[in-house]
Each structure stands twice: as structure tokens, then as C-alpha cells.
């Protein structure tokens, strides 16, 4: 199994891969948690070609796709935008906005490769945070990589789901 994680830009191939991954992963992630109409509206609003082109072209965002044997298997988006947790006020912080790997690629190495690339991209920052729905099975992966679950909970973006914030802070050397 050949696993490689690459940045993606607005090309026909890159956008086709992202459109497929964002829609499929939203369905895999939320289909048992949301009403079909809510899920359809979420996908239509956030993962149409125009919205994705704008997000990929946004200078604050970096999009990564993990490939398994040359097939798109998952993606992540890293950004410096968004309301940060109080604990990160005044710090240089990046956010992993979206992170997911299709269920048909269950090997831990696939998720690990994508997360490792995310963390490498985030090295210049003091902290990295992720907001996920509270029962996301990926939370264990993030915690195993040094992310700490925060006490405060909230709602996941525009979805009616309880969320949890995880933060990874670098230890400063004095």
C-alpha cells in the first residue's frame, strides 16, 4: 500500500478529488446523526464547486489530500481563520478545520499520514486546535497525537451537534 499526502490546488484533478471526498466524508460522518435534509443542505452549501474553489484559493487555507495507491482516500484543511478558543487568545495558532479518511481505507497508517502532514504544516504555530462533533471516533487519534480535550463544549459550526475542542500546544523551551 503506497500512501502519500499532497497539497491540493485548483486543478481539474484536485477539485474532482476534493468534491468527491468532501461529499462522501460528510455523508459517512453525519448520515446517522443528522436528518437527510439538514445533511443535504450542509453539503450543498459547503461542498459545491464554487465554495470549494473559493476555499482552496483562500490564502488562509491549506488543503491536503492523502492518496492510497494513487486514489484519493481522505483530506484535511488547515486554516488560520476562525474563532479561536479562549485558551489560544494572543497565540499564533492554526486550526485543522476538516479532517477525514474514507471508511474503505481503514488502515491506521492512512489517518496517521494525513495527521502527521497536518502537524508538519502547523510547526510554525504555537498551538493547533480542532473542533469536532463530540462522538467522532477520530478524537482518540487526535488525543494519541498530543491533543487535549478542552472542558468547554459548544455546537459544531452550523450543524446541530454537540462539539468538543482539542488543543495541541507546543512546549516552549526556556
- In the structure grid, which three cell numbers stand for residue 167, read together? 488543543
In a domain, 89, yes or no: yes
What lies within 8 Å, CB to CB, of 100 at 6+ separation is 21, 25, 28, 29, 74, 75, 76, 138
In a domain, 174, yes or no: no
In a domain, 76, yes or no: yes
In a domain, 85, yes or no: yes
> Quick one: 104 exposed, middle or buried, by C-beta within 10 A (0-12, 13-18, 19+)?
exposed
In a domain, 16, yes or no: yes
Total structural domains within the chain: 1
Question: Above 70 in pLDDT, residue 115?
Answer: yes
According to the model, what pLDDT value does residue 171 have? 46
* Residue showing cell 452549501: 45
According to the model, what pLDDT value does residue 162 have? 87
Q: Could you tell me the residue range of the domain that residue 21 belongs to? A: 3-169
Domain of 59, CATH number, reads 3.40.630.30
In a domain, 17, yes or no: yes
According to the model, what pLDDT value does residue 152 have? 67
Render pLDDT for 54-81 as a digit per residue (tens, 0 to 9). Answer: 999 999 999 999 999 999 999 999 998 8
pLDDT higher for 155 or 52?
Answer: 52
Render pLDDT for 75-109 as a digit per residue (tens, 0 to 9). Answer: 999 998 888 888 898 899 999 999 999 999 999 99
Nearest alpha carbon to residue 114 among 21, 29, 23, 27: 21
Sheet architecture: strand order including 162-169:
3-7, 61-68, 71-79, 93-101, 127-133, 162-169, 148-155
Render pLDDT for 117-165 as a digit per residue (tens, 0 to 9). Answer: 999 999 999 999 999 998 899 999 999 999 999 986 666 667 888 889 9
Amino acid at each position: 500500500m503506497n500512501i502519500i499526502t499532497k497539497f491540493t490546488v485548483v486543478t481539474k484533478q484536485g477539485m474532482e478529488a476534493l468534491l468527491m471526498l468532501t461529499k462522501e466524508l460528510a455523508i459517512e460522518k453525519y448520515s446517522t446523526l443528522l436528518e437527510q435534509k439538514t445533511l443535504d443542505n450542509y453539503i450543498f452549501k459547503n461542498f459545491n464547486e464554487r465554495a470549494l474553489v473559493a476555499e482552496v484559493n483562500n490564502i488562509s487555507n491549506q488543503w491536503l489530500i492523502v492518496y492510497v495507491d494513487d486514489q484519493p482516500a481522505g483530506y484535511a484543511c488547515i486554516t488560520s481563520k476562525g474563532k479561536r478558543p479562549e485558551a489560544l487568545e494572543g497565540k499564533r495558532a492554526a486550526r485543522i478545520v476538516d479532517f477525514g479518511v474514507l471508511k474503505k481505507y481503514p488502515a491506521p497508517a492512512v489517518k496517521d499520514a494525513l495527521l502527521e502532514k497536518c502537524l508538519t504544516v502547523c510547526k510554525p504555530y504555537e498551538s493547533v486546535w480542532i473542533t469536532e462533533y463530540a462522538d467522532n471516533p477520530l478524537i482518540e487519534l487526535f488525543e494519541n497525537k498530543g491533543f487535549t480535550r478542552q472542558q468547554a463544549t459548544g455546537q459544531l459550526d452550523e450543524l446541530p451537534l454537540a462539539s468538543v475542542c482539542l488543543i495541541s500546544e507546543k512546549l516552549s523551551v526556556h
